[in-house]
């Protein structure tokens, strides 16, 4: 009598014919009797906890954890994962606690259950935040134990199989989340079986009409291809046998969502999908893979540019295989995949294969190693400002269409399609990214935003004292680069805000005949206590960002001295603007102030000081908040370039725009943007340009006026 049958005899009669009995039969094929005993105990605990609960479909709730466990058993996962699958909803949906699970089944299983559990018992500001925080917790639990995500993927797979019981709106939301997050995670971990099922179920639920149309078209095309595939398979089998090669062969068909995605991405009809059908050849070792490739290229001509060697250079998720597209009989294209047994098992189960199989061939790359490499990057993503940002950056990082580039030493780097030289720099090391100033591709200097292509050799040039450019965030594609730039700029903004805040407080203290150096320690401590802060640097930062008003803080400090508060009404000496204050001093787009203009500063919360011209129309509105205005002036000898806008009214003549632009360039002013509007015989040209000061702008205007076809030129005020 087999062991699983003996256990079934001990179970209550209602359980013997259930799905749990089938689960035991699956587990018996690879788990020890002691492990199966532990699984039975987990089932009994879960069944008792969920007793009386039903799913929306009307089934007993315990059917869901058992189904999740069966999916994991199909991947041959270990006993701990199976127990966690049976218990994964206990903490969330029953009175049982995580401590109860820890006592009964140990820390290992409790950690897995905690990682999968949602955070429904906490309060969040929005549904998005709840989803993002739950996802964040799960991913960070993955860093400790990869089995967390395997349980979650199985949970999502069964939920998608039974999604019809939900409302239409919930179905679409869950399907979108599945396509955006969970299917890409399965792909990233190399679990092809779950990935394809999640994609097809998500596609069917999210776009049911498109799914039905494509399914009918594929079914219709399938019939005519079968005879063609049989003939091809026979020819290749005969040829391999003649050359003494043993191989297992199977026909494969691209799944619906993959076909749909390719049609959308390349904007092509179904008839143009070359790898719609294919053939998979599985052999004993890597050497035989390349021998088979040579033999089938002798039988059928390969399609140029369609060969991919994923054995020498595996995909980011560890997938390995040779791919080639052949011109089959009558010129019909056919994709052939050639791989070893280990590669085939890893392609189907990815990281899940790690718990049951070890690669026989030492050259077979570990899917687990690839996953660990990715998860290491997740730790850096924790620097994201909030849960929603973390979720978005992970989404970006989940789509692994990769380019393979080389370091100057010949090492291979894998980056997302569209990655730039800056992404490469941050992939090498965060410090390299922060200090990069230029890049070379194949020995040629290129802009840092240049997109990389397969086979490029990339060299990054760095400089001491260099720092990230805020504009890099607009073109980098990797989450690591984006988060590193944001983290650096966040710290940089704080430093600049503290510097500006110190200057603002210095200025506000002058009417009280005080300065930062004259402040006594006890005064500062008393005011910090009153403000609810622990350190003066934090107050400086708040002042610089406009979150506190410098005159108010100065008055509080002056009170400690016993000074006359009426002195605060004295005229304040203007704050001098140097033009190098970075992110905490901004220049209003409504009036574009430049050195030489009379200016005034507005304290804007979170933005620091925004500089306006005193003649700006918005100043009248802002003056309703007099405490937020501060006198400012340009520092003597200020350097830099400042934005200004001019309007030029001209005769409508061919080539005149180029002439006006040439005169602007001759004054060493850069043009950022130009807009042209034509009205009969006249045209209006509007330029946004960079100038040093009012004198430089006057030079630009004089130069344009010398053109006889220019009717009028003026500076725009906003």
DSSP-derived secondary structure letter, 52: T
Q: What is the CA radius of gyration of the chain?
A: 34
Q: How many helices (H) and strands (E) does the chain have?
A: 28, 19
Handedness of CA 449, 450, 454, 456 (dihedral sign): negative
Q: End-to-end CA distance of the chain, in Å?
A: 89
pLDDT value of position 381: 56
| Nearest by Cα to 89 from 111, 116, 63 | 116
Residue position matching structure tokens 């609960």: 53
Torsion of CA 176, 264, 343, 456, to 10 degrees: -110
Sheet strand arrangement including 277-283: 248-253, 277-283, 333-340, 322-327, 308-309
**Spatial contact of 634 and 599, defined as CB atoms under 8 Å apart:** yes
Backbone φ and ψ of 597, nearest 5°: -75, 150
How far, in Å, are 144, 210, 235, 298, 712 from residue 154 at the CA level? Answer: 19, 26, 40, 43, 71
Q: Which CATH class is domain 369-486?
A: alpha beta
Provide the 8-state DSSP code for 580: -
Side-chain-facing half-sphere of 379: CA atoms under 13 Å:
7
Per the DSSP assignment, residues forming a β-bridge with 263 are: none
Q: Where are the alpha helices (DSSP H) in 243-317?
A: 256-266, 286-299
With vertex at residue 356, the alpha carbon angle to CA 351 and CA 358, rounded to the nearest 5 degrees, is 80
d(CA 709, CA 707) in angstroms, rounded, equals 6
Q: Which residues in 581-652 belong to E strands, given as ranges?
A: 585-587, 599-604, 608-613, 629-634, 642-651
How many Cβ atoms from other residues are within 10 Å of residue 597's Cβ? 20
Catalytic residues: 92-93
- CATH superfamily placement of domain 3-206: Hypothetical protein af1432 (1.10.3210.10)
Closest CA to 195 of 372, 343, 319, 22: 319
- Cα separations (Å) of 168 from 55, 58, 135, 148, 207? 17, 18, 23, 29, 12
The DSSP line for 515-573 is -GGG--HHHHHHHHHHHT-S-HHHHHHHHHTTSS-HHHHHHHHHHHHT--GGGGGSPPP
Q: How many CA atoms lie within 13 A of 311 on its CB side?
A: 22
Strands 308-309 and 402-406: unpaired
Whether 375 contacts 142, CB under 8 Å: yes
Cα separation values, 668 from 634, 686, 692, 697, Å: 22, 18, 10, 11
Token pair recorded at residue 670? 């850069």
Sign of CA dihedral 39, 44, 49, 52: positive
| DSSP characters over 13-29 | HHHHTSHHHHHHHHHHT
Element (H, E) at 506: helix 479-509
Which residues 6+ apart lie within 8 Å of 641 measured at CB?
670, 690, 691, 692
Is residue 241 within 8 Å of residue 214, measured between CB atoms?
no
Look-up of token digits 């840092």: 448
Per-residue pLDDT of 65-78, as tens digits, reads 999 999 999 888 88
Could you tell me if 151 and 72 are in contact, meaning their C-beta atoms sit under 8 angstroms apart?
A: yes
CB 624 within 8 A of CB 634: no
pLDDT digits (tens, 9 = 90+) for 309-364: 888 877 766 778 999 988 877 777 788 999 998 888 877 776 655 544 444 444 44
d(CA 715, CA 409): 54
Q: Which residues of the chain have pLDDT under 50?
A: 1, 16-17, 119-123, 355-365, 383-385, 563-571
**Secondary structure of 356-415 in the HEC alphabet?**
CCCCCCCCCCCHHHHHHHHHHHHHHHCCCCCHHHHHHHHHHHCCCCEEEEECCCCCEEEE
Q: Which residue has tokens 């009426």?
A: 566
Alpha carbon 219 to its chain's center? 36
CA-to-CA separations, 543 to 97, 497, 579, 608, in angstroms, rounded: 47, 7, 18, 8
Q: What is the pLDDT of residue 278?
A: 81
Give the span between the Cα atoms of 327 and 306, in whole angstroms: 11
Fold observed for domain 642-715:
Alpha-Beta Plaits (3.30.70)
Q: What is the pLDDT of residue 10?
A: 64
Fold of the 217-365 domain: Beta Polymerase; domain 2 (3.30.460)
Q: Are 594 and 644 in contact (CB under 8 A)?
A: yes
Residue ranges covered by each domain of the chain: 3-206, 217-365, 369-486, 492-622, 642-715
Nearest one of 329, 286, 331, 274 to 311, comparing CA atoms:
286
């Amino acid at each position: 009598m087999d062991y699983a049958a003996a256990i079934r005899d001990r179970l209550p009669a209602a359980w013997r014919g259930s799905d749990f009995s089938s689960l035991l039969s699956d587990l018996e094929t690879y788990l020890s009797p002691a492990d199966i005993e532990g699984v039975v105990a987990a089932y009994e605990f879960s069944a008792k906890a969920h007793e009386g609960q039903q799913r929306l479909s009307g089934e007993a709730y315990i059917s869901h954890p058992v189904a999740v466990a069966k999916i994991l058993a199909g991947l041959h996962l270990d006993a701990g994962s199976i127990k966690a699958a049976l218990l994964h909803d206990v903490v969330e949906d029953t009175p049982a606690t995580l401590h109860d699970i820890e006592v009964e089944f140990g820390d290992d299983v409790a950690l897995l259950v905690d990682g999968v559990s949602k955070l429904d018992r906490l309060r969040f500001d929005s549904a998005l935040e709840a989803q993002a925080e739950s996802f964040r917790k799960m991913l960070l639990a993955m860093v400790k134990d990869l089995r967390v995500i395997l349980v979650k993927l199985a949970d999502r797979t069964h939920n998608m199989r039974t999604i019809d019981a939900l409302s239409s709106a919930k179905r679409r939301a869950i399907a979108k989340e599945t396509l955006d997050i969970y299917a890409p995670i399965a792909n990233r971990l190399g679990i092809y079986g779950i990935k394809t099922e999640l994609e097809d179920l998500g596609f069917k639920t999210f776009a049911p009409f498109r799914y039905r149309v494509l399914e009918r078209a594929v079914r219709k095309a399938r019939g005519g291809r079968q005879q063609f595939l049989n003939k091809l398979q026979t020819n290749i089998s005969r040829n391999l046998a003649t050359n003494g090669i043993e191989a297992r062969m199977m026909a494969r068909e691209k799944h619906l969502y993959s076909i749909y995605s390719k049609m959308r991405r390349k904007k092509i009809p179904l008839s143009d999908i070359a790898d719609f059908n294919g053939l998979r050849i599985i052999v004993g070792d890597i050497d035989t893979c390349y021998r088979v490739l040579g033999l089938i290229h002798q039988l059928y001509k390969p399609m140029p540019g369609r060969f991919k060697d994923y054995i020498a250079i595996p995909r980011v998720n560890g997938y390995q295989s040779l791919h080639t597209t052949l011109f089959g009989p009558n010129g019909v294209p056919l994709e052939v995949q050639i791989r070893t047994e280990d590669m085939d098992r890893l392609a189907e189960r990815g990281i899940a294969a790690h718990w049951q199989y070890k690669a026989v061939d030492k050259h077979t790359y570990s899917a687990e190693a690839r996953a660990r490499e990715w998860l290491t990057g997740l730790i850096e993503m924790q620097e994201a400002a909030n849960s929603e940002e973390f979720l978005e950056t992970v989404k970006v990082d989940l789509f692994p269409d990769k380019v393979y580039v080389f370091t100057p030493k010949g090492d291979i780097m894998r980056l997302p399609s569209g990655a730039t030289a800056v992404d490469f720099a941050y992939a090498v090391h965060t410090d390299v990214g922060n200090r990069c100033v230029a890049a070379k591709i194949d020995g040629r200097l290129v802009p840092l935003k240049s997109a990389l292509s397969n086979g490029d050799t990339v060299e990054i040039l760095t400089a001491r004292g260099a720092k990230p450019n805020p504009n890099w965030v607009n073109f980098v594609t990797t989450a690591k680069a984006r988060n590193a730039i944001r983290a650096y700029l966040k710290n940089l903004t704080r430093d600049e805000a503290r510097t500006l805040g110190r200057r603002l407080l210095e200025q506000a203290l002058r009417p009280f005949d005080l300065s930062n150096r004259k402040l006594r320690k006890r005064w500062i401590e008393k005011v910090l206590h009153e403000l609810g802060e622990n350190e003066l640097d934090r107050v400086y930062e708040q002042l610089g960002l406009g979150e506190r008003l410098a005159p108010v803080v100065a008055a509080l400090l002056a009170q400690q001295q016993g000074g006359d508060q009426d002195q605060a009404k004295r005229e304040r000496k203007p704050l001098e603007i140097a033009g190098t204050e970075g992110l905490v001093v901004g220049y209003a787009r409504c009036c574009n102030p430049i050195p030489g203009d009379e200016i005034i500063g507005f304290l804007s919360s979170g933005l620091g000081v925004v500089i306006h011209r005193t003649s700006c129309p918005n100043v009248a509105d802002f003056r309703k908040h007099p405490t937020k205005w501060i006198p400012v002036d340009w520092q003597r000898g200020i350097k830099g370039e400042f934005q200004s806008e001019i309007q030029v009214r001209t005769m409508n003549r061919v080539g005149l725009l180029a002439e006006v632009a040439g005169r602007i360039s001759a004054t060493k002013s850069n043009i950022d943007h130009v807009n042209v509007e034509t009205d009969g015989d006249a045209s209006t040209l509007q330029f946004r340009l960079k100038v040093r000061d009012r004198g430089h702008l006057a030079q630009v205007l004089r130069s344009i006026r010398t053109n006889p076809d220019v009717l009028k030129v003026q500076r725009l005020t906003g």
